[in-house]
Structure 1
Amino acid sequence: MSYFRTAMLLAGMTALFMGVGYLIGGASGAALALLVAAGMNVFAYWNSDRMVLSMHGAQPVDARNAPDLYRLVGDLANRAGLPMPKVYIMENAQPNAFATGRNPQNAAVAVTTGLMEQLSRDELAGVIAHELAHVRNHDTLLMTITATIAGAISMVAQFGMFFGGNRNNNGPGIIGSLALMILAPLAAMLVQMAISRTREYAADDLGAKICGNPIWLASALAKIDHAAHQIPNEEAERSPATAHMFIINPLSGRGMDNLFTTHPSTQNRIAALQQLAAEMGVQAPARSPGAAAPRGPWNGAPRSRGPWG
């Protein structure tokens, strides 16, 4: 059902884009708008991963300079039936992560230093498994396409403000152009967010099954959500269009950032993971009252072993 809903939403966004072009320039306007969008999508298909990694200052790592992280990603990728993705680290105190790439053969997983410092190994495994689920579901390409179409709609709507105001040219007129410039990008953003929310639930479900314990991911989501409101992510604030790619919205809520959210409620996601854990017969590990969660092996703590060995 989620794939059908995603397909319908993407079709709706495409139809909206064609409609904007038609209102501005008739059939020729729709064709021109579609041609521009196609060119943007081709460029995004080949270059989106490098662009977003560069935006967030992500640096590549391997088995030599980040052995624990690299091995964990490799183990989980193997469990997911995926080729080994490229691994990146972002120097950022906010715990967060995202995946990018046009297909599983050209995928990359990026995590912040804050994520590695604040999460246990089990929680980090849950986060990475979630990102690998996006890769396996081809969400990284889907979200790039929706972001590109949404950007194209905004561009064409603004273009219509200058060339669509003359009703003698079959344009929507001044009032129509103003409404188009405001409502079309808003509608595109709503559709983009709906697609993002749908895919987050699907990635949570598959990611929990990849790592073997939904509680690990649920615990990580709670920590990341809390920290995201306390620790700003300056790179994300400068590039808010990439917020939907992260496991938790990285925007701090300054200004209008949280008027529309790119992610479903964290509490709803955690509740869904807890229900999945109950179905799988998995229980949260017992912990002494007031005891802190164990930290990852990159901080010198003993490793906790997952189902991957």
Structure 2
Amino acid sequence: MMLRVNGLYGWVQANDRRSVALFAGFLAALNVAAILVLYIPLLAFDPDHAPVHAWGGYAERYVPLVTLAAAGYLALNLVRHVRSVQRLVGFTFVDDADEPRLCRLVETLAIGMGLPAPYVGVIEARALNAFACGVNRRNAVVVVTRGLLDDLDDDELGTVLAHELAHIANGDIRLLAAANACLRLVGWLIRPRLRRSDRLKEVAAFPLIMVTMPPLFLFVLIVGVCAQAALRGSSLIRLLITSSREFVADARAVEATQNPAALVSALRRLDGRSRLADLPPGQDAIMIDGACEGGFATHPTIARRIEAIVAVTGSMALIAPPRRDTRTDAGAAPAVSAIRASVFGASTRAQTCGQSALRRVGSGDDRNWLGLTPAMTAGALLGVVVFLGLHRHELTQPAALVGALDPRPAGALFAVAGRGSLCNVAALGGIALGLQRPAACEGTAVHDFTVAQAQAQASGPVGALLSAMTQAGPNLHMHPDGHFSSVPPAAVQAADVRSKRCFRTRGYAQGDAGLHRVDEPRRRDGAFNIQGWLDGSEAQASVVAAASSEAVGGRMLKDYVETRKTIYESIDRFFGEPGLVLARRAFASPAHQRAIERLRERLGDPRWVAGLSPVESAEATLLATSPEDFVTCVARKRMTAQRL
């Protein structure tokens, strides 16, 4: 990036605005990464707010959550930044007693630049590098390597330190810390989706997808493209931010030291000797020199930085006055010819790095812009051949081919599977904890497409799989929300009451706990007291018969119907046929007849009926219109078998 300005610092404010705009690009990349991570889970468990299928719902519910989560992650990283960097590079804090030359230079330059004296650290490594870190001026740290201290004279070391102090003064340390944290977060979200496997699996994956679920082929390609765009875009954004900031820091260093020749000499000494061993890729972004090519590019090339300094300082960068050097084993200052060579000579590293920023960033591996490795690319081509072979009879029908790749039925499939599993887990939790079933599991739709519509639109393997998922077995029922249960849906239960002329119970068999005689003496605990049960029901019927219309309109009639059900089930189970005969006689009393008349009256009131569930309405109607048929389905089945 050349400085096409008059003077050395005229572009700093414009560069600040540019960095803010580039940082906004990180937020966009984070949201792209979040979409890739959340797409399938939301499609399964929250389809009304899933990206692609419901952009508005996703933007309303999840974009703010993703942004807040990213902001929290960045804030936590900034708070722990200095400690994290210290663990990463292994520097040690020093003071005047440890490194008097270094601390004296740092303090003098800091005072001259109007900064509080920062903390100072040293890395015991022969590499030549330096960096500043922290989140503000008060807790900033300037760190240099032992190789830098030993190889640079005072003037050269001073320009490097001024460069790092410029990062502190400009607020670059906070910006670069946030940029690195953003890139780590984007990589953490995306790279698991790009995990490598062996070549045979990579080749076979796409043909298998084309046989089982063709829409997933497009999804994998879209994920790959978006992932590569987010990764490479994030790397490019960081490169542009760090590149521009390095140029500004060089300019501030020249301003503070008035010695561009010393800075040029220092940069030349660093070139090719700055890499710290065991430092993870991309973590050299905060240093004065780092990678300038590949997927983890963080810096402009040394050659371009020297060119920028020479372009605006002219002959000052080429004049090498005598240098100050307080090293005990100081070497001779470099000659003018060496300085000129550092400006006009192009090292091999500089030549390899001298390319456009876009070409200097990559994914860090052998993936192309589709996110595919060479083996996966071959598998994708083979998958296309397999797909065309399976649909060879439809090659003249483009609409049929497009329909086979339509993601909407697959989306409904994920929604059915997700909602079903969620409701079943909720049901198990409700049984264990005694909680009420979630209201969401009583709905009638799981997606913009109902199950029936999805089945109608689905074809091929997706349609077959969706049909298999939505076909209940003889003892298993599919509910409208997509979950399966041994308990039929309310509409099915109500239809059974009307057609089978009976009411459903929790499940029992006559005599499964032993049968009792109807004339058995009453027990003190009241258990198995058939006459006591019937007397209680008679008393309840009398209350219903004598109650006012207002009182009967509440729960009184509902409780009466439930009592009749409970007594009939208990008598059938524990007393058998003799008990049923006794119950029929008791339920034929005038009090019960009057109570049933009151029930018929209430069933003519739409407002009261509206307060009943479908099953309650069907059971109340059966009792009111045909009291003799008001029996359990277990008893009804037995009676039917006996008649046959």
Q: Is the structural similarity TM-score above 0.5?
A: yes
Distance 1:118 1:159, change over 3 A: closer
Structure 2 equivalent of residue 207 of structure 1:
253
Identify which of 82, 87, 93 aligns with 1:49.
82
Inter-partner Cα distance in structure 1 for 2:277 and 2:273: 14
Identify which of 4, 7, 10 aligns with 2:23.
10
Structure 2 equivalent of residue 188 of structure 1:
234
CA contact (8 A) 1:116 1:296 kept: no
CA contact (8 A) 2:232 2:295 kept: no
Structure 2 equivalent of residue 58 of structure 1:
91
Inter-partner Cα distance in structure 2 for 1:20 and 1:201: 31
Alignment of 1:100-111 (within 5 A): 100-111=133-144
Inter-partner Cα distance in structure 2 for 1:261 and 1:68: 33
CA contact (8 A) 1:143 1:245 kept: yes
Structure number with bigger Rg:
2
Identify which of 295, 299, 302 aligns with 1:263.
299
Alignment of 1:293-304 (within 5 A): 296-301=325-330
Per-residue Cα deviation, 1:241-267 (whole angstroms, up to 9, x for no partner): 311111111x5x9xxx74553111211
Inter-partner Cα distance in structure 1 for 2:235 and 2:252: 26
Q: TM-score, normalised by structure 1?
A: 0.82
Identify which of 304, 310, 313 aligns with 1:274.
310
The alignment status of 1:87 with 2:120, answered yes or no, reads: yes
Per-residue Cα deviation, 1:208-227 (whole angstroms, up to 9, x for no partner): 11122122111100110142
1:298 is paired with a residue of what secondary structure?
A: coil
The alignment status of 1:118 with 2:147, answered yes or no, reads: no
Partner amino acid for 1:285? A
Partner amino acid for 1:153? V
Q: Which moved more, 1:142-151 or 1:101-110?
A: 142-151
Question: What displacement does 1:180 show?
Answer: 2.6
Structure 2 equivalent of residue 307 of structure 1:
none
Question: What displacement does 1:8 show?
Answer: 1.3
Structure 2 equivalent of residue 240 of structure 1:
281
Partner amino acid for 1:213? N
Inter-partner Cα distance in structure 2 for 1:117 and 1:177: 49
2:261 is paired with a residue of what secondary structure?
A: helix
Structure 1's consecutive aligned runs of 4 or more residues displaced over 4 angstroms after TM superposition are 22-25, 158-162, 257-260
Distance 1:259 1:186, change over 3 A: closer
User: 5+ unaligned residues in a row in structure 1: which ranges?
Assistant: 288-293, 305-309
Question: What displacement does 1:155 show?
Answer: 2.5
Inter-partner Cα distance in structure 2 for 1:56 and 1:160: 29
2:73 is paired with a residue of what secondary structure?
A: helix
CA contact (8 A) 1:214 1:276 kept: no
Per-residue Cα deviation, 1:51-74 (whole angstroms, up to 9, x for no partner): 112211101110111111101000
* Percentage of pairs with the same residue: 29
Question: What displacement does 1:115 show?
Answer: 0.2
Structure 2 equivalent of residue 291 of structure 1:
none
Inter-partner Cα distance in structure 2 for 1:258 and 1:179: 18
CA contact (8 A) 2:107 2:117 kept: yes
Question: What displacement does 1:15 show?
Answer: 2.1
User: 5+ unaligned residues in a row in structure 2: which ranges?
Assistant: 1-13, 40-50, 52-57, 196-208, 334-644
Question: What displacement does 1:135 show?
Answer: 0.5
Count of matched residue pairs: 282
CA contact (8 A) 2:309 2:317 kept: no
Distance 1:233 1:282, change over 3 A: closer
Alignment of 1:25-40 (within 5 A): 25=39, 26=51, 27=58, 28-40=61-73
Question: What displacement does 1:22 show?
Answer: 4.3
CA contact (8 A) 1:215 1:277 kept: no
Partner amino acid for 1:41? L
The alignment status of 1:128 with 2:169, answered yes or no, reads: no
Partner amino acid for 2:300? P
Partner amino acid for 2:21? M
CA contact (8 A) 2:121 2:142 kept: yes
Inter-partner Cα distance in structure 1 for 2:124 and 2:185: 31
Inter-partner Cα distance in structure 2 for 1:22 and 1:235: 33
